[in-house]
A and B are shown apart, each in its own frame.
Chain A
Amino acid sequence: MNLNDLMEVWRSQDAVPVHGVNETLLRLALRQDESKLQRQRRLEKRIVYAMTAFFVAVMGAFVIIMVHSTDDNELIGWDLAIAILGAAAALFWPSALHVGYRAQVRREQSFGDSLRDQLNRHIAQIDYYARRANSLAFHLVNNLPAMVWAVAFFLAGRLINDKPLADAWTNPNFSVVFFGMIFFCVVSAIATVWVARRTVKRDVLPHKHRLEALLKELDGQ
């Protein structure tokens, strides 16, 4: 029996397939998949928009209160700048997320459709995830807008209450809360890195090694 005979045998299964498709379930499954994806995307967008709107609104309210304050204390540019900085940090957050997402989409689109490209695309995704997970700097930068906003919130709140910033540092309560908050942000970032690194080591890297082995196998003669 030569290859042509084997090919003929192979093609004979098209006439009498062993399998069939449950069309009703399939249609249902596709709808379910589509709506699940859309729900997920909608939820992610809504969370980001809602949090941004909240952060910006709070800072906006602070600016309005400061401007319309009837107290005798004269407002200087730096006072307003604190609130504006907080609002800018809140706006920076979704922008940074969007830029990062677009960059990753571009990276993935740079690969073609072949099996080799598909493997390389998967490896690139894993590398991107692992790089981010392992980078303390990435997590700090990612959390920076929230930290800046929180600092601005504290300082602006103090200004609204007509308490000069210069006196803030001598107030033990303020210092404890302020530095406690900074400490909490840094510890959160470190904890996030630790969890992400563990996930990479346990789940992601073995998958990457398997894909790399497949790539080597593909090149092997």
Chain B
Amino acid sequence: MLDSERDRIFGEWLAGHKGILFKVVRAYAYEEADRQDLFQEIVLQVWRSVDAFRGDSSVPTWMYRVALNTAIAWNRKERKHERGKQPLDGMDGLLMTSSSEGVDPRVEWLYAQIARLKDTDRSVALLLLDGFSYKEIAAIVGITESNVGVKINRIKSALVGKRAEEAS
């Protein structure tokens, strides 16, 4: 694939679905420096994955897959050691954070609850909240649909139960 073609496809993916990457970054990294680092890693992996995309799944599914695979293997402590060797060293600011004014506190609450889940359950929670079916989640995560069902029940109880508990 020509570089220009890859750039065009990547540009379209990013323009249409960058929200997926933001969500994964927020769910897996909490400090600003970590978010920059993870976002940088994810966009590079997405860019490198353009050649491998065969169209067997939708673009959002593919981007979720790449982003979650990268986030789950990303290790904050190890990355801190390696940060000095990164290709984008000295280029902080790839991920821009706009003003926090107008941010829905319920969204913040959801991220806080997701952060309490286990690493792999967090992936399932993100996919669930974005409306992926059990079958799609099973394919992305690589577990059986029945296992997805069990995990989702646990996540639902954690989220809905906590919300109800706090409301009362």
Q: Which 9 A-B pairs have the closest CB atoms?
A: A116-B142, A114-B142, A118-B69, A10-B129, A20-B96, A221-B150, A19-B22, A218-B120, A9-B106
On whether the beta carbons of A21 and B94 are closer than 8 Å, the reply is yes
Interface footprint category on A: 35 or more
Kindly state the separation between the CA atoms of A116 and B97 in the bound complex, as whole angstroms. Answer: 32
Q: With A7-B129, A17-B22 known to touch, is A115 a contact of B69 (CB < 8 Å)?
A: yes
Known: A6-B129, A26-B94. 15 other contacts (CB 8 A): A1-B163, A9-B110, A10-B130, A12-B104, A18-B98, A21-B43, A25-B91, A26-B43, A29-B88, A33-B47, A116-B143, A118-B69, A119-B73, A207-B78, A210-B75
**Interface contact tally, CB-CB below 8 A:** 145
Q: Indicate with 1 or 0, residue by residue over B36-47, a CB within 8 angstroms of chain A CB atoms.
A: 000110011001
Q: Which residues of A contact B43 (CB under 8 A)?
A: 21, 26, 29-30
Residue A201, interface by CB 8 Å? no
On whether the beta carbons of B68 and A115 are closer than 8 Å, the reply is yes
* Chain B residues bordering chain A, tally (CB within 8 A): 61
Q: With A1-B160, A17-B22, A218-B143 known to touch, is A113 a contact of B110 (CB < 8 Å)?
A: no
Q: Which residues of B contact A18 (CB under 8 A)?
A: 22, 26, 97-98, 100, 103
Question: Which residue of the partner chain B has the closest CB to A112?
Answer: B142
Residue A3, interface by CB 8 Å? yes
Q: Which residues of A contact B3 (CB under 8 A)?
A: 34
Out of A30, A34, A114, name the residue touching B140 (CB < 8 Å). Answer: A114
Out of A1, A3, A17, A22, name the residue touching B19 (CB < 8 Å). Answer: A17
Q: How far is the CB of A217 from chain B (nearest CB, A)?
A: 5
Contact residues of B with A, CB < 8 Å?
Answer: 3, 7, 10, 14, 18-19, 22-23, 25-26, 39-40, 43-44, 47, 65, 68-69, 72-73, 75, 78, 87-88, 91, 93-98, 100, 102-104, 106-107, 110, 118-121, 123, 128-131, 139-143, 147, 150-151, 156, 159-160, 163-164, 167
